[in-house]
Chain A
Amino acid sequence: MATREYSFYPGCSSQKGASSSNYLVSVETMCEELDIKLNTIPDWNCCSASIGYAGGGELPRLTLSARNIALSEEHNPDQEIVATCAACWLSTKEAAERLNDDPDMMAEANIALAEAGLKLTNKTPIRHMAEVLVEDIGFDAIAAKVTKPLEGLKIAGYVGCQTNRPFGIAGESFENPVYLDKMVDALGADSVPDYEKKVQCCGGALAFSEPEKSQELIKGILESAYDHGADMIVTPCPVCQMNVEVYQGQINDTHGTKFDMPVLYYSQLMSVAFGRSAKDAALNGQIIKSKQLEEIAGK
C-alpha cells in the first residue's frame, strides 16, 4: 500500500512543551505504523480556536485560518489538510466554508493575505485525523495492525464537542457517535457503547475562566465512566483530554470524590496496540498514568 500523504496542521497545543505535546508524539508513532506521512504546513499560525472572538472580529479570525490554508495550498499542493486538534480542525473547516459561501468575505480575506504575500484558492478539504482513520484507513486495517491487543481494558470513548459538532464524522449521529467505540473494539479492548456522557461538553476554554461551572461538567463525564466500570477514557480532542485529566485533583478536593481516571488519546492506544513502546506512545505525558497500558506496552 502506497504511503498516504497529508498536509498537517498540528496546532499550538501540540508543540514541544505544550499541553498536548504527548498527542503529537503518539500521532507520529501511529502514522508511522499506518504508513501515513504528515507534511506539516510550514509556518502555520494559531487558528484562535473558539475563544478568540472577544478580541478578534469575524474577518481577522477567518484570516488566521485563511493564512494556514493558503500556506498549505502553496507548499503542500493537492494534499488534504489534516488536523489532530478538534478546535484547529473546526476553525479551519468553518473558515473554509464561510469564505466559500461569502464572496465578499473571501475577497477581503485575500486582500488581507496579500499583505503577507499569500493567496487563498480555498479548494482544499479540511479533515480531522479521526476522519482519516475511519474513512481512509478503516477499522479492519486498524485491527489488522494490532500486535498487542488491549485485552481486558474497558475504555469509555469520550468524543466531546468539537470533533462531533457541527461537522462531525460523516454518517455519525451528533447525539451518539460510535466511531470511537468501534476504534476501541478494533484494538481489542472493550468499549462502553452506552456511555451517556460521550458528547457532553467539558467546558472547553471556560475551564480557565469559569472553573467551577466547568468542573461540574467534568465531574459528570468522569462519574459516568466510573459508573460503567471503565478503566480509562479515550478522546480525540486536546482540550477534552486536558480538562478531564488535570482537574481531577481539584474536583476530588471540592466534591470529596476519588477520581483517578487516566485520559488518553486514541493515538496513544493505537501506538501501544501496534506494539510500540510506552515512550513512543507518549505514556510519560500522562499526569494520571495508566499502569494497565504501560504494562501492555512493556510486554
Chain B
Amino acid sequence: MNDLNTNMIEKYRNSFLNEVEANVEEGEWVKMCMQCGVCSGSCPLGNAWEHPPQELFMMIRAGKREEVLSSDSMWMCTSCYNCIVRCPREVPITHIMHGLAHYARRLGMEPKEQPTAKFAQLFWDNLMKKGRVNELKLGIDLYFKVGEGMKTALKNKDIGIAMWKAKRMNPMEFFGGHAVKDLNGFQKAIKKAEELEAARLDKHKA
C-alpha cells in the first residue's frame, strides 16, 4: 500500500464520498446522482462493466472504497460521452470515470494487468517524451507490454504492413520521430503542473 493511500484512508476514515469529493476530478458531482441508471444503459460497453457508473456512485456513498478503487469498471470507459449528454442531472460521468481511474492509479490500487490502465499509462509516458505521440513506439510498446506479446504482434502485422504501404505508419519513427521543439519548456511546464497537483493532494492529506 503506498503512502498516499495510507494517508487518505486515515483522513477519510468515515467518508469515502468526502474523499472522492476532495480528490477525484469532478468528484463533487457524485452526490448529485439520482440513480436513474441512464448512464449504464447508454454505455457502449455497458455489459463489460462489473459496476456501471451509477452503481459506482452508490458504492462510493456506501463507503466501498476498496471495491471501487480496485475495480476494473471505470477502465472500461471509451470516452464516448454518451452518459454525459444523457444524464438528466448533467453529472459529468465520463470525467468522473477518468478521475476515479486516475485516482486509483495514483494510489496504486488499479487492477493489475488491466490492459486499458497499462495502455493509458504508456500513452502518457509516450507523449511526455517528445511532446507528441509516437504512434509506432506506442504500438510496439502496446503489443509487447500490454497485449500478449508476439502473438498479438503477429496478428496485427498485416495491419502494420497495410498502414506502412498507405504511408500511415513510418518505421523510421522508431528513431526519433516528431517532437516539440521546446521540449525542455514543455516538460518543465508539465512537471510544474504535476507538482502543483501533488501539493493539492498533500494538503488534503494533512
Contact = CB atoms under 8 A, between A and B. Distances in A.
Interface residues of B, number: 67
Give the interface centre of A15, A174, A214 by most chain B CB atoms within 10 Å.
A15
Contacts of B205: none
Contact of B193 (A13, A60, A213): A60
B63 interface: no
Given A46-B133, A54-B101, A209-B119, A118 B189 contact: yes
Give the interface centre of A53, A203, A285 by most chain B CB atoms within 10 Å.
A53
A55 B159 contact: no
Interface stretch (A105-113, A121-129, A145-153): A105-113
A112 B190 CA distance: 7
Interface string B149-189: 00000010011001101111110110000101110011011
Interface in A24-60: 43-46, 48-60
Contact of A22 (B84, B86, B168, B180): B168
Interface string B103-147: 001100010000111111101110110011101000000100010
Interface of A: 12-13, 15-22, 43-46, 48-60, 62-64, 67, 108-109, 111-118, 161-162, 165-166, 174, 200-201, 203-206, 208-210, 213-214, 217, 246-247, 249-250, 284-287
30 contacts: A15-B132, A15-B178, A18-B169, A18-B170, A19-B135, A20-B168, A46-B127, A54-B116, A54-B120, A54-B123, A58-B25, A58-B102, A59-B196, A64-B190, A67-B186, A112-B189, A115-B185, A115-B192, A116-B186, A162-B79, A201-B45, A204-B80, A205-B119, A206-B45, A208-B146, A210-B45, A285-B168, A287-B159, A287-B163, A287-B166
